[in-house]
Structure 1
Amino acid sequence: MSTRAVAREFNVNFSNVSHLQRRFREFCRTSNRPHNRRRCETRPGSPHPLQSPSADVREFACASISRVVQQSQTIPGFLQRDAVRRLGPLMLDRSLAVRETATGALRNLSACGGHEVCDDMVKQDVMTPLTALLREVRPSLVNHSLTLMYLWKNTVEDVANEAVNLLWNLCESSSQALSVFNKAGILDVILQCLERHTHNIKLALSAAHCLHTVTEDNAELLCSMNNAVLGTLESVLLSSQADMSHTLLRTLAAGSVWNLKSSLPTAHQAQTLTALMATLSQCLELDAGTLIPQLRQVEVARSATMEDDEEEGVGLRKNGKATKIDKDFSDLLPVSPVLFSSQKQTHQTLLSYGYRDPKGKEELREATALLTAQQTSLEIIVNMCCSDDPSDDEWEEASSSDESEMCPDGLSEGNTSLLSPLCLSAEVHAALINHNIPEKVLKKTQFPSSEAMDVCRHNPTWKILIKKMHRVQYRALTCLHNMLSTMDAESLGGAAALQAVAQHLSTLVFSPPEIPKEEEFLEAVTSAMRSLLQIIAYMKIPQCMTPQQMMSLSEAATCCDVVSVRVNALAILGITGSTLAKENGTAETLQMIGNALLQVATKDANLVVCGEALDALFDVFADGDEAERAAENINLLSALKALQPVFKAKIRKEGKGKYSPEQLCVLDNVKVNLRRFIGYLETVVKK
């Protein structure tokens, strides 16, 4: 299961190219060219800007493409003009600045173009110059301790960062790119970038994102795993830096370790699992609702300080101490100042040694890293607890199975792997409980704090965090759903805790002025409610949600375009109705539920949804005096007889073209059960 592909924002480089525009105008003046031209075009017969003998022109052309392709409607035009084949060789240009901007342009093209564009880029052989570039920068990353490298380190690592981001985008979207990654032997380059985390967290994060992507469901890569790979990941997991960027780095490393679980040496599995779970737990302990307002306050204070610094001529700060950029900075660096010929080089080098640029957005980056880390942590736990949704019968059968058939450690015979992907192993189960993961996940299912939301609403640059805060909530709800599907009730706190969870979910849905219509929220919350109600029904725990609330949720969900939301709502009605059918005086409510289910079964355009509505009808009216009375009052038998031939015809006519073999198998079962249920209702009428 990969939710990461949906969760991740576009991996785009939004670098400002205004300095390049100034440099290009200067070039135009020195070359007797009109400097008011809007494009770096030349007279007929002159070289294309990307092939200009001037590095400045090549750099500006690449930067212009990088900016323009962020508008998706421009991408087809660039592809038609063979932009990939023109930009590819520039990744190996003799100018490092051109390399960086060319790779950045391809990175933006891959991010903004989507899967099809990534596939097209791979077909146009973008992987050949990309892998060559990564191999070429590796020695510079390895030999970063050389004194001379202090002059070039930032530039080389900036090129590497663009290349790793491009690789990440391509491998996430293209199986062919992933295959090239596996065969080209560039895993070592990614690890080298990851090991730079103490000096260049930006590059290390790009490498960690890329590694997290390429290790997911990649059996071919598992053959390349060795102690060095796992050792690098474990060293990152055990790092102690407390900032949010390193929190995200550790979280991504934890995800990669989980992806590589089958390659872990048996002797180290328990220790690695503990470190992995501790990383996720520490990340989820952080309260974004408190930290985001605090970070914003720090930014406001820093902005005020920056204004004062500009008046005093201060360019940089370290640990709160102002530092002016002038000729005398020999006490600040371990290298001789004679190596640096410009103020720009001085400025970049000071940054590399921990001096903070007042014009940066450190606090916003920290807040973004925090939310990304929490979303990623929740997605990892989702995968740990991943389980196919069982039907009511399957769930009941699994819940009532004889525990004597299980081994003492909770594993079935023949399955002794600590990190088995086939089930939630006893060790993983225990680790989740020992680190209070269920409790922390439940806390993240709450709506974002009003204080944090207000901070983001009132600051344009922070508004991007609103969607990220909501996404953390959605992932937490999905995580809760998976834990409810794979963990036993006692581990989750027993009947009282489950009732509290039910009350909490009902508050999420019914406390706002109206039921939220956000599709991602509805999908996550209805999945969690469905799993919870299945457990509650089996354990005969009183429900916290009234039938009227269930009906209003169902009405909101059935208007949703997402099929899974409609299916979940129908399943919830079925579970609720089957429980009510066992109680006295519920016939009127059962009639209301039955009419709603019949409406969907008759009119929904999706056969999977129709099938779920019929399944729910079978559950609600399967047995009991109240169910029989309600079925008679709504003429259920005649309604199903009229529906039967229509349903069969739709399966025959639409099935093979629109639905998967698995869905068709389920629909065939519904068709058989419909015939049997009609027979059952006929016997009831004859009584």
Structure 2
Amino acid sequence: MGKIKKSKPNKNKKVLNHDNSDEDEQLCVDTKENAVQTVLDQLQAANVEEKYCGLQTLALLIETSEHLDQVITQGVVKVAAPLLMDAAGSVRNAASGTLRNMSALRMEVCDAMMEQDIMTPLKCYFQEYAQTWTPDVTSKFKDEDIDTFINCTNLLLNLCESSELAIKYLEQYKILDVFPRYLDIGVFGSDTVAAVLQCLFVAIEDNPQAMQRVKNNSEKQLEQLLSMEGSDPSILLIKTLAAGVVINTCGGIITTLPVNFMNEIISILAKTLSMDHRLACNHVSSNVPLINGAGKLETLKGKEAQILDSQLKSVSQMLDAQQRAIEIIANICSCEDSDDSLNGGDSSDSEELEGDMIDNGEESLLVEDKLPPEIMEAFVSLKIFEKISARAQLPAQNVMLILKEYEGSQLVYKKLQTLQTRALLCINNIISTLPIEGLGGVNGVYKIWVDAGKLVFQQNSDNFSLIESATAVMRAALDKIKLRENGNTSECNLFGDMALSDIEVMLIGIRECQMPEIRSNLLRMIGMLALLFVNNLNETTTDVICKITEFILEQAHKENEVWVLAEALDTLIDLYSEDETDEIAAKVKLVDKLTVLAPIIKNKARQQKRLPKEYKVLVSTVVSNLPRFIKYKKGRISCL
């Protein structure tokens, strides 16, 4: 699984002043342009209070999309970023928090920040302030300085996740040489160490020079972090991140590590994933203040507030650790998958790879044999798949509602949603990697398909990332069943209770889907479902196949994205390549309808040339194969 852009929460809220009603009224009166211009004037003032006030107002403005657009248009970042080097620590702290929050909003914002030269003052901060700074335990500004460093590190992380140029700057200005000293948890504390590890984890991926530099400068510190004792979420977060950095220093190939070291790392990931996130969230929700009779949330004070804040931080660290563990495992699987010697290429080539088996010149190799046996053994013995599946389960609905309503726990609510999505994406990777026995057998994979289907078709969710990952799981699960059973599901009777009404629910969901990635997954998935019925033909299954075929043909005529159209047609080619489908093909007039679609996809392919490489390959293959398939099937039908 490649790196996925994560929605990052705005953590640094303390620079905001939401109780300033006069300021709120002023923002309502001023136009967007005037409000932003006022901020620009304040940021350029000589007075510390003016600059601090300008940063407070800027932090408030970027929470509104309209003001955010204006902030970007008027080049506010170019003026605010140099305040990271301001002589006043309070200004540096406010600037770092505001810019960090801004970088967490969306990738396009990070691009704009790069264009407005955010990296120059940021690298100056690390070179001038961070190279020699050590927290002074006697200073009243200790927490502020630590917070500023963490904010700047997370700002850098967000930029690196969005921009390859930021990673080049990171290496060019030798910021990676600054980070190793911050891996001393005894001096800098767990929050600082975790922030540095997060940044390293992202910055060195697919970056050989950075990998070697971190390996040379930080190897001993990383080993010490991995050997830390304790099961507190803060400790497990650091150990998990350290494990991820170590793997990335090896180019993502964990098997290059000594076997005992590799097993230690996988054990750390397993321990992190063993924490019961649902139980922890249930516990913390019982302490979250609820809405009173007047419709307002009660405010906790004193010791109660401190206890709740500590619990929320602990749960947040747990969720962060589990998310990273899941991403590391997904990358371990997909890293092996990227090996060209084992990769069957795009889906359209699968017809030439009988049963998804790859000929290496000597013997055929199952796709599920890609992982080295030592990793496979560790995954199975430590029940990695079961642990990841458990992380795909959200707490009870009432718990989620409590966490969503209270401002202090909204971050946990968002992280739970992200964790679920990441877990599903990882399951998608693992399904093709583990042998089916490690997934609970055919019935276990069928259950995975059903559970993912409930997320897709039984929830009115606007979380498109979740739906996309769940549809990918559905597609992978059916592909696994098809591979194992060779389409013959009669013995295990998996789909015996499925009726046309069940199919109709899926078709309605696809018809209403606005996201091309999700439509593509669903079209391929229902095509696989139809293919599983081909070897078990009877009146009911024939009706299902006809219904699915007619639907895919209908959608093909409506589809605007050429690569989704290609996916739909490729699905039909796979389905009707079986000779047993000749009579059904004649019944639905498949050849005539595909003949109409052939010039349509050809024209769309000419019009939509700017496509990612994998989409181009798919479209090109379908455009080439479709006429040959029509000729072949026409000949078969004529013999009926």
Same fold (TM over 0.5): yes
Contact 1:379–1:475, Cα closer than 8 Å, also in 2:
yes
SS in 1 for 2:388: helix
Q: Which residue of 1 aligns with 2:342?
A: none
Determine the C-alpha separation between the residues in 2 that align with 1:432 and 1:270. 14
In the alignment, which residue of structure 2 is the partner of 1:568? 521
> What corresponds to 2:173 in structure 1?
184
Correspondence for 1:610: 565
Equivalent of 1:393 in 327, 335, 351: 351
**One-letter code aligned to 2:178:** V
Partner of 2:600: 646
Specify the alignment match of 2:474 in structure 1: 529
2-side partners of 1:458 and 1:159: how far apart? Answer: 29
Tell me, in whole angstroms, the C-alpha distance in 2 between the residues paired with 1:534 and 1:78: 48
Instruction: Tell me: CA distance 1:631–1:396, structure 2 relative to 1, closer, same or farther (3 Å).
Output: same
Corresponding position: 1:58 with 2:51: yes
Deviations 1:555-589 (A, max 9, x none): 31343222232222222232222232223424333
Aligned partners of 2:18, 2:397: CA distance in 1, in Å? Answer: 40
1:479 is matched with 426
| Partner deviation per Cα, 1:218-239 (whole Å, 9 max, x = no partner) | 2331231334412222322322
Letter of the aligned partner of 2:466 in structure 1?
F
Provide the residue aligned with 2:122 in structure 1: 130
Contact 2:253 2:332 in 1 (8 A): no
Given that residues 421 and 469 in structure 2 are in contact (C-alpha distance below 8 angstroms), is that contact kept between their aligned partners in structure 1? yes
| Cα 1:544–1:446 shift into 2, 3 Å | farther
SS at match of 1:103: helix
- Other-structure match for 1:29: none
Pair 1:648–1:218, CA change in 2 (3 A): same
1:659–1:20 CA distance, 2 compared to 1 (3 A) = closer
The match for 1:89 is 82
Secondary structure of the 1:486 match is coil
Q: What's the offset of the Cα at 1:515?
A: 5.5
- Do the aligned residues in 2 keep the contact of 1:137 with 1:156 (CA within 8 Å)? no
Question: Whole-Å Cα distance in 1 between the matches of residues 269 and 530 of structure 2?
Answer: 38
1:539-558 correspondence to structure 2 within 5 Å: 539-540=484-485, 541=489, 542=492, 544-545=494-495, 546=498, 548=500, 549-558=502-511
Instruction: Give the direction of change, closer, same or farther, for the CA distance of 1:67–1:280 in structure 2 (3 Å limit).
Output: same
Aligned to 1:620: 575
Q: 1:507 to 1:53 in 2, by over 3 A?
A: closer
Among candidates 535, 538, 541, match of residue 483 of structure 2 = 538
Q: 1:163: which partner in 2?
A: 152
TM-score when scaled to structure 1? 0.76
Structure 2 Cα separation of the partners of residues 84 and 271 of structure 1: 48
Partner of 2:548: 593
Q: Give how far 1:679 is off.
A: 1.6
* Larger relative contact order, structure 1 or 2 (CA cutoff 8 Å, min sep 6): 2
User: Any idea what SS the aligned residue of 1:224 has?
Assistant: helix
Indicate how the Cα distance of structure 1 residues 360 and 269 shifts in structure 2: closer, same or farther if over 3 A, else same: same
After superposition, where does 1:60-75 map in structure 2 within 5 Å?
60-75=53-68
Which residue matches 2:632? Answer: 680
Deviation at 1:617, TM superposition (A): 1.9
Mapped partners of 1:396, 1:208: distance in 2? 44
TM-fit CA distance, 1:592: 1.6
Q: In structure 2, how many angstroms separate the alpha carbons of the residues matched to 1:512 and 1:111?
A: 27
The reply on whether 1:378 has 2:370 as its aligned counterpart is no
Matched, 1:363 2:311: yes
Q: Deviation of residue 665 (structure 1)?
A: 3.3
Within the alignment, does 1:280 sit opposite 2:238 as a pair? no
Find the residue that maps to 1:361 and give its secondary structure. helix
Q: Distance in 1 between matches of 2:19 and 2:414?
A: 33
Cα drift, residue 179 of structure 1: 0.9
> Hey, what does 2:450 align to over in structure 1?
506
Using the TM superposition, give the Cα deviation of residue 87 of structure 1 relative to its aligned residue in structure 2, in angstroms.
2.9
Q: Counterparts of 1:150 and 1:101 in 2: how far apart (Å)? A: 19
Structure 1: gaps spanning 5 or more residues:
25-36, 42-46, 302-306, 318-355, 412-422
Distance 1:309 1:533 in 2: 50
TM-score under structure 2 length normalisation: 0.82
Do 1:574 and 1:617's aligned partners in 2 also have CA atoms closer than 8 Å? yes
2:331 corresponds to which letter in structure 1? N
2:234 equivalent to 1:245: yes
Q: Which residue of 1 aligns with 2:294?
A: none
Q: Distance in 2 between matches of 1:93 and 1:463?
A: 32
Q: Alpha carbons of 1:185 and 1:601: their partners in 2 closer, same or farther (altered >3 Å)?
A: same
Distance of aligned partners of 1:197 and 1:500 in 2 relative to their CA distance in 1, 3 Å threshold = farther
Matched-pair contact (CA < 8 Å) for 1:50–1:87:
yes
Which residue of 2 is the match for residue 324 of structure 1?
none
Confirm or deny: 8 A CA contact 2:146 2:192 kept in the other structure. yes
Q: For the residues of structure 2 that align with 1:9 and 1:229, how far apart are their CA atoms?
A: 27
Q: CA deviation at 1:181?
A: 0.7
Partner of 1:336: none
- Encode CA deviations 1:139-177: one digit per residue, 9 max, x unaligned: 5544x4x77x54543233232222222222222222222
Map 1:37-436 to 2 at 5 A. 49-79=42-72, 81-112=74-105, 114-138=106-130, 141-142=133-134, 144=135, 150-196=139-185, 200-262=189-251, 268-297=257-286, 358=306, 361-386=309-334, 387=337, 390-391=347-348, 392-393=350-351, 396-399=354-357, 401=359, 405=363, 424-436=371-383
The alpha-carbon distance between structure 1 residues 20 and 466, as it changes in their structure 2 partners (threshold 3 A), is closer
Instruction: Tell me which residue corresponds to 2:415.
Output: 468
Which position in structure 2 is the counterpart of 1:325?
A: none
Task: State the distance in 2 between where 1:226 and 1:74 align.
Answer: 43
Q: What letter matches 1:679 in structure 2? A: K
What secondary structure, in the 3-state scheme, does the structure 2 residue paired with 1:560 have? coil
**Equivalent residues of 1:615, 1:670 under 8 A apart:** yes
Partner of 1:415: none
Residues 194, 649 of structure 1: CA spacing in aligned structure 2 closer, same or farther, 3 A cutoff? same
SS in 1 for 2:608: helix
Contact 1:141 1:157 survives alignment (8 Å): no
Aligned-pair distance for 1:599?
A: 1.2
CA contact (8 A) 2:170 2:176 kept: yes
**AA matched with 2:262:** L
- 1:442, 1:476 within 8 Å by CA — same for their partners in 2? yes
Kindly state the Cα deviation for residue 97 of structure 1 after the two structures are TM-superposed: 1.6
Residues in 1 aligned to 2:455 and 2:115: alpha-carbon distance in whole angstroms: 52
> Within 1, Cα distance between the matches of 2:231 and 2:246?
21
- Distance verdict in 2 for CA 1:596–1:4, change over 3 Å: closer
Residue deviations 1:397-444 (CA, integer Å, cap 9, x gap) = 54375896499xx99xxxxxxxxxxx5333332332232101212223
Q: Which residue of 2 aligns with 1:33?
A: none
The yes-or-no answer on 1:632 pairing with 2:586 is: yes
Looking at CA atoms only, which structure, 1 or 2, has the larger radius of gyration? 1
Between the aligned partners of 1:291 and 1:265, the Cα distance in structure 2 is: 31
- For the Cα contact (< 8 Å) 2:358–2:364, is it kept in 1? no
- For residue 563 of structure 2, what is the amino acid of its counterpart? V
Kept after mapping to 1: 8 A contact 2:254/2:262:
no
Q: Which residue does 2:12 correspond to in 1? A: 13
The alpha-carbon distance between structure 1 residues 644 and 435, as it changes in their structure 2 partners (threshold 3 A), is: same
Q: Kindly tell me: are residues 537 and 158 of structure 1, through their superposed partners in 2, closer, same or farther at Cα, counting changes over 3 Å?
A: closer
Contact 1:499 1:543 in 2 (8 A): no
